[in-house]
């Protein structure tokens, strides 16, 4: 059974720092991996999606990498800002299925201090 | 922009009541999903639908049912609400099997069962 783990559960950094969030999954048979952002009391916003054949994706100050064989992904945030404060979730889509079912990690709560 | 709308942000219901949570998407997506989100457990899939009148059980379907009479609308039904169904409920939609299959989320409904 696929399990997704995110470490650390919470992280506090000063503004301007570069940081890395980690995601690991137990079964490398995935179709893709997504990173989401969730603000308090709100829904999820998709940040980046990496297909299983890709190594990384970039969007602005965000860079996500994928090492499928080792079951790991990282989300790198450059020059962090207070507006980056949120919960970050990763989710994998298992391969072989007929639907777009996602399996989520429990998230990393990020606080960027001004 | 994709829009996924959940009819209520907050709901308070009594034990034993029948509860309807409504979700509408405006992008003609084939797939729709209902999740619940609880602290420490992350997002867990309740039910999903890949076509009108089609539904599949997710990981935690017990105590819930769904209805998809029209492509744009996916309803979650709690036949007899219980206190352990107090949670944040999130609806999502995604396009068919091709493409990136990014899931787009609504803002969520926070349900309290007293």
Note the pLDDT of residue B99.
Answer: 53
* Mutation site, A37, A43, A109, interface B, largest B CB count within 10 A: A43
Taking a C-beta distance cutoff of 8 angstroms, is the pair B64, B46 a contact? yes
The per-residue pLDDT for range A21-70, each reduced to its tens digit, is 999 999 999 989 999 999 988 899 999 999 999 999 999 999 999 999 99
Q: What is the mean pLDDT of residues B79-94?
A: 96
How far apart (Å, rounded) are the C-alpha atoms in residues B98 and A71? 24
Instruction: For residue A43, give the nearest of B42, B94, B108 by CB distance.
Output: B108
The band of B98, judged by pLDDT with boundaries at 50, 70 and 90, is: low
Residue contact A102–B103, C-beta within 8 A: yes
Q: Which residues in chain A (18-57) have CB-CB distances under 8 A to chain B?
A: 31-32, 34, 36, 41-46, 49, 51
Quick check: B108 and A41 CB within 8 A? yes
Cβ–Cβ below 8 Å for A107 and B58 = no
- Rounded to the nearest 10°, the torsion over CA A2, A100, A63, A27 is 20
At residue B5, the pLDDT reads 96
Residue that is written with structure tokens 């997704």 in the block: A4
On average, the pLDDT of chain B sits at 92
> What's residue B41's pLDDT?
87
Chain centroid to Cα B94, Å, comes to 13
Burial code (b: 16+ CB inside 10 Å, e: under 16) for B64-96 equals bebbbeebbbbbbebeebeeebbbbbbbbbbbe
Q: pLDDT class for A99, splitting at 50, 70, 90? A: low
pLDDT digits (tens, 9 = 90+) for B16-66: 999 999 999 999 999 999 999 998 888 999 999 988 988 999 999 999 999
**Contact at 8 Å (CB) between B46 and B37?**
no
**How far apart, in Å, are the Cα atoms of B59 and each of A104, B36, B47?**
12, 11, 8
Residue B51 at interface with chain A, using a CB cutoff of 8 Å: no
Distance in angstroms (rounded) separating the CA atoms of residues A35 and A45: 9
Task: Mark yes or no for CB contact A34/B90 under 8 Å.
Answer: no
Cβ separation of B42 and A49 shorter than 8 Å? Answer: no
Q: Percent of chain A beyond pLDDT 70?
A: 97
Q: Rounded to an integer, what is the distance from CA B105 to the centroid of its chain?
A: 10
Q: What integer pLDDT is reported at residue B65 of this predicted model?
A: 97
């Amino acid at each position: 059974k696929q399990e997704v783990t995110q470490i650390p559960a919470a992280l506090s950094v000063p503004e301007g720092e570069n940081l890395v969030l980690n995601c690991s999954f137990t079964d490398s048979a995935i179709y893709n991996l997504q990173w989401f952002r969730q603000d308090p009391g709100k829904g999820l916003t998709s940040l980046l999606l990496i297909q299983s054949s890709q190594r990384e994706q970039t969007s602005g100050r965000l860079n996500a990498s994928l090492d499928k064989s080792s079951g790991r992904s990282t989300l790198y945030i450059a020059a962090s800002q207070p507006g980056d404060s949120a919960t970050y979730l990763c989710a994998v889509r298992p391969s072989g299925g007929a639907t777009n079912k996602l399996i989520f990690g429990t998230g990393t709560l990020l606080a960027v201090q001004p | 922009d994709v829009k996924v709308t959940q009819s209520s942000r907050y709901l308070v219901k009594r034990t034993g009541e029948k509860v309807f949570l409504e979700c509408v998407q405006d992008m003609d997506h084939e797939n729709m999903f209902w999740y619940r989100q609880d602290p420490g457990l992350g997002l867990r899939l309740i039910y999903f639908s890949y076509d009108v009148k089609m539904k599949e059980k997710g990981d935690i379907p017990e105590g819930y049912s769904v209805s998809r009479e029209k492509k744009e609308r996916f309803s979650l039904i709690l036949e007899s609400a219980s206190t352990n169904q107090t949670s944040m409920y999130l609806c999502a939609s995604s396009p068919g099997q091709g493409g990136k299959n990014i899931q787009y989320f609504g803002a969520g409904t926070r349900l309290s069962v007293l």
